[in-house]
Amino acid sequence: MNNQKFYHPKFLPTWLLIGLMRLGAKLPFKAQVLLGGIIGKLLYSLLNRFRNIAFTNISRCFPNKTKSEVEELVKQNFKAIGISIFETANAYFATNNKVESMLKIKNEHHLTNALNNDQSVILLAAHFMPLMLGSRALLLKHNIANIYRPQNNILFDEVMRKGFVNNGAVMIKTKDTRSMLKAIKNKLPIWYAPDQDLGPERCVFAPFFNIQTATVSATARIAKGDNTVVIPYFFVRTESGYRMEFQNPIENYPDNDPAISASITNKILEAQILQHPEQYLWIHRRFKTRPEGEGEFY
C-alpha cells in the first residue's frame, strides 16, 4: 500500500470507498443488513443493465416462475447485492472475533478428516453474495489457497489481496493452473468457485438448470492428483449471521469425460443455489458463451 502510484488523484474515489468499508465493517450485523438492503433497493433502480441480466438468468433457470415472481426474486437479489458490500468489508477489515461471532459451522469434520488423512482438498464453492466473507471465515482455523480473478481497479485489487494474505491465505489467480497444482501437491486446501463463464477455450458445455452452460474444466484437472478430494463448501447469510457448511466429499470424481465431471459439479452447485436463490450472483452473464448454432441470451 506504500506504492506511490496509489496516491494518484484518480484513486481518490477508491480511497474513499476503502474508508467507508473500514467504517462499515465496524457496524453490527443487523445494521449492516438493514443499510445493505436500502443500498440494494437503490442499486436496483440505477443498474438497468445488471437488473436485465439477472432477470434473464432467473427467467431461464426458473421457467415455471411468472414474470412477477422473477421480478420479486431479482429485487431480493439486489438487496443481497447491497448487503454484500458490508460482507466484503467484513472479509477485508473485520476482526477475527467479529467474523467468528457471526458463524454457525456445520459438518466441518468433512474437511478436518481429509486434512488429518493427509489428503489434498478442493473446496468447491458457488458465487453467493457473501463468498468473500466465506473465504475469510475459512482462515479462522485453516490455511488455504484462494483462487481469484484480479480486480480491474489495481488499488482495490491490492486491498483485497492483502486483506486475505494478512489473514493467512495464499492468493492464486484463476489462470494460474500451475500454482493450483502446486498447492494441491503441497496439501494446501484450495477454495475454488468455478461457476463463471470463462469462454470456450477454458470450458466444456454441461447442464446447469437444464441449460447447456460453459463450465470451467479445470476443476476436474486439478482434482486428478493423487489422494485428492473435492468437498462442496456452502456459505450463506441467515437471519442471525452466516452458515458455513461442508458437505460430503464427491465420490467417483473426476470422471474421464470432462463434460461428465462438469455436470457433476454443476448439479451440486445447483442444489446449493436452490436453497438460497436470492443470494446467488445472478448479475454475472453465466450463459454468455453458447453452443454453436444457439442464439445469445443477452
Q: Residue 284: inside a domain, yes or no? A: no
Counting residues of the chain whose pLDDT is more than 90, the rounded percentage is 72
- CA distances, 218 to each of 26, 52, 96, 132, 221 (Å): 38, 30, 32, 21, 5
Whether the per-residue pLDDT at 128 is higher than 60: the answer is yes
- For residue 257, which phi and psi values (nearest 5 degrees)? -90, 115
pTM for this predicted structure:
0.92
Burial environment of residue 284 by CB neighbours within 10 A (0 to 12, 13 to 18, 19 or more):
middle
Instruction: Please write the tens of the pLDDT for every residue from 2-53.
Output: 566 787 788 889 889 999 999 999 999 999 999 999 999 999 999 999 999 9
Q: Residue 242: inside a domain, yes or no? A: yes
Counting residues of the chain whose pLDDT is more than 70, the rounded percentage is 99
Mean pLDDT, rounded, of the chain: 93
In terms of DSSP H, where are the helices of 102-253?
109-116, 131-138, 154-165, 177-185, 218-222
In the structure grid, which three cell numbers stand for residue 175, read together?
489462470
The boundaries of the domain holding residue 273 are 4-279
- What is the DSSP code string of 50-82? HHHHHHHHHHHH-TTS-HHHHHHHHHHHHHHHH
Q: Residue 293: inside a domain, yes or no? A: no
Instruction: Please write the tens of the pLDDT for every residue from 156-191.
Output: 888 888 889 988 899 998 878 888 888 888 899 998
Q: Residue 297: inside a domain, yes or no? A: no
Q: Residue 298: inside a domain, yes or no? A: no
What's residue 273's pLDDT?
A: 97
Give the number of domains in the chain: 1
Q: Residue 21: inside a domain, yes or no? A: yes
Q: Residue 296: inside a domain, yes or no? A: no
Q: Residue 206: inside a domain, yes or no? A: yes
- The three-class DSSP label of residue 121 is strand
Residue 225 pLDDT grade (very low, low, confident, very high; cuts 50, 70, 90): confident
